[in-house]
Chain A
Amino acid sequence: MTEKKPFKTAELMKEMMKGYYRDGAHAKENGIPVVWVTAVSPVEIIYAAGLFPYYPENFGAVAAAKRVADKLSQVAESKGYAHDLCGYARCGIGDAYSEEHPVGEIVKPDITMVCNTQCGSLSKWFEVASRFYKVPHFVLDAPQIGNEPEELVTQYFIEQLYELISFLEEVTGKPYDYDRLNEVLKLSSEACRLWNEVLETAALEPAPFGFFDACFHMAPIVTMRGTQQAVDYYRALKEELDERIKQGIPAIPNERFKLYFDHIPHWPKLRWFSELFASRDALVAVSQYTHSWAYDFDLSRPIESLAEQYTEEFVNRFFDYRIELKKRLMEKYDVDGFVLFSNRSCKPNAFGLYDKRKIITEETGIPGVVFESDMSDLRFFSEEQIVDKLEPFFEQLEAGKES
């Protein structure tokens, strides 16, 4: 396959992320406490408090992409953490107990702040971490909700955000700066809007950008939303995409199909997957996963809006509503098929996929497939098994085009 022309912004991002990690490593020297946060959590609160938010999930993803997740995991396993726990957690715990740091050491927390919108695994991991590093721990609890937002849950979360703010005031000894929160939220909002625009280019035919590109370009929206840098970055990326659209540079050479993918990418084999799909002329265009960070804040009600956005995320919705959301995205991006990843690391996203596959196909007629592996640990990856699973699916796609 011909090598795809790399994005100019890719370099920019590498620099930015390097800077982010540098800041993290030096935060303590500069008297800035490091707060461990989760990917789907109101990080705006942390940025506005002048603290450094660090994403240990990201550390896990990097370890996975560099194919050392199994090594770190084995250290955790030797202590009795089972290999079926979330791979990110295994990497983080493994790093804590490890003498060797193949991807650099995880940035140690001064505070752990977990929001359980995504899952319960993170809560438990952060509990473990807060004990290991002996730092204060804060839980932002987001009970799961159904079709309609619930006053009970929103109010509970709002109250907790105020509890969080008091907690931060106590730890830092500084009064909370609500004006700063407004500014941060504005920046976050702008970055999210741009991110959403970037993602939406995948609906074009042919598209200049797809899911695997999004996986590459998502680090800033996850870790740096709320900063000017993230805004600048996605503006540059959007400009570059507009340019590519003009010049007719597609994401894959010969797009004939669009696919929907759930959920988290397979980090160590990202490239293998992207090439596999491209070789079948299938662009993986959309996923609930990358859309997670396309928040839409109401700047006139900062706290309320944070509560709504972070509790109403798709990962915190009941089964049937999640199906609805998937169907909506499939329709919006006009996909020909969908691929669901039964990811051993991620029980909250993997459990239910078998039934969802069936239900979605029954209701929409769109073919789908579920494959098994682990997002980070190659011990649970079998190329052969996955190809065997996908082959009949690709045939179905072809048959669909012919008819």
Chain B
Amino acid sequence: MSSELLNTFKTAAENYDEDVQQWKKTVGGKAIGFLLTDVPEELIHAAGFFPFGISGGDTRMDMADAHLQFWACSFVRSSLAMALEGKLDFLDGLIIPHTCDTTRMVLGIWKHAKPLSLMDNFRIPKQVERPSAQKYLVGEISRLKKLLEDFRGSEITDEELWQSIKLYNSNRELLRKLFFLHEKNPNLLGNRNLYTIIKSSMVISREKLNKLLQELLNSLEKEEETSSPGNHKSRIVISGTLLEPMEILDFFEESGGVIVADDLKNGFRYIESDVPEKSDPIEALAERQRSRIPSAAYDNNNNPRRDFLVNLAKEKKADGVILLHLKYCEPENYDYYDNYLALEAAGIPAMRIETEFGGVALGQLRTRVQAFMEMVGGGGSD
């Protein structure tokens, strides 16, 4: 039962455009893409559009060469290349969160190279704790809302917005349940399936997603009664911007490593916090954005990333932390050394692994993961 469902998620992640194409055909609606993942998708959904998460991919990078230097991160390069190759032609719009200088600059390039009807940056504040940040963010989200309203030709009502917020909150709740179930009993899903489901959640219609997740949870909970969690596994935390390539998850699995937490944009950070269901929906969306798991994209004085990571590793009783570094990702690079030092000072083994979208030598990657697992005393599996 669960294996069938798992297959559905896997297929959805691989054939990322299937569901959105189908939806467009049946509903006749529009799809708005976004780069991962600091974008208030609830707004897009409330406007009646299909929010589609562009996850980059193994594509013809050379398509991007005429527009973007090779020293731009491969996530943005490959996403742009996908668009240029015509692989994202189903999109009617695109929203890019301003997380770094690359995302700040690529919007203009994209607009000229592959224009869509609606294209804009979501300009997240780069300080999130002073009073001015909340006020600005409310203004910025309202601006985005207006943009989407103009695109659809009518106002987005509070009721519509609340409906979408509730739907997203329940999506996230289900995904979190799955995440914690995996942590408790890693034999049920396995690393790869867990993250594949999160990835696919960005390209499946949200209504359908909830049904699938609920079914999966039901069947997994049944399986759990008869399956033992085993006790030889090493508990690993992954920190970084984006999880890529997915194969790395298998390599951990092979060496008896369970991913128990992360701060990745396409991992737990995506599903961690909900939109508080309080009086004003825009205020609530802003609040969620400001209180997300710290990322390299903005300054977070009260919840600094390195302390957060140390605490996370301790709380999850992690045996080690992998600092997954997407090559040419500038914000992440600036954080790396201090994160590393903080983990080291806390006695938590940590290692950096550099990856890229497309073109990663998987053999080498496997060797690095194995070396790390040996270091943290893994290697045994049950």
Contact = CB atoms under 8 A, between A and B. Distances in A.
B66 interface: yes
B112 interface: yes
A120 B132 contact: no
B333 interface: yes
A82 B125 CA distance: 26
A318 interface: yes
Given A80-B352, A359-B112, A119 B125 contact: no
A319 interface: yes
A121 B101 CA distance: 8
Interface string B50-92: 0000000000000000111101100000000000000000000
Contact of A141 (B104, B126, B139, B330): B126
Interface string B112-128: 11000000010101110
Contacts of B67: 354-355
Contact of B71 (A84, A319, A348, A352): A84
Contacts of B331: 120, 124
A168 to B, nearest CB: 14
B132 A159 contact: yes
B98 A144 contact: yes
B140 A143 contact: yes
B109 A163 contact: no
B104 A144 contact: yes
Contacts of A124: 296, 330-331, 334-335
Most buried by A among B72, B101, B135: B101
B136 A152 contact: yes
B130 interface: yes
A141 B105 contact: no
Interface residues of chain B: helix, strand, loop or mixed (majority): helix
Interface string A344-366: 10011011101100010000000
A229 to B, nearest CB: 33
Nearest to B331: A124
Given A163-B132, A351-B106, A123 B126 contact: yes
Interface stretch (A15-23, A125-133, A190-198, A255-263): A125-133
Interface residues of B, number: 47
Contacts of B330: 84-85, 120-121, 124, 347
B344 to A, nearest CB: 12
A331 interface: no
A104 B14 CA distance: 55
Interface string B246-278: 000000000000000000000000000000000
Nearest to A142: B126
Given A141-B126, A352-B109, A119 B334 contact: no
Interface string A1-40: 0000000000000000000000000000000000000000
A165 to B, nearest CB: 13
B72 A319 contact: no
A372 B69 CA distance: 10
B299 interface: yes
A128 B112 contact: no
Contacts of A169: none
A193 B290 CA distance: 40
Interface string B133-145: 1011001100100
Contacts of A159: 131-132, 135-136
Nearest to A370: B69
Nearest to A322: B108
B126 A319 contact: no
Interface string A70-90: 000000000111101100010
Contacts of B105: 319, 347-348, 351-352
25 contacts: A80-B333, A81-B333, A120-B331, A124-B334, A131-B338, A141-B127, A143-B125, A159-B136, A163-B130, A163-B131, A318-B107, A318-B108, A319-B112, A320-B108, A320-B111, A322-B108, A351-B102, A352-B108, A352-B109, A354-B66, A354-B67, A354-B68, A355-B67, A355-B108, A355-B113
Instruction: Pick the 7 closest A-B CB pairs, nearest first.
Output: A319-B108, A124-B334, A351-B105, A143-B123, A156-B136, A159-B132, A348-B101
Given A156-B139, A159-B135, 6 more contacts: A82-B328, A121-B330, A123-B126, A128-B338, A131-B338, A372-B69
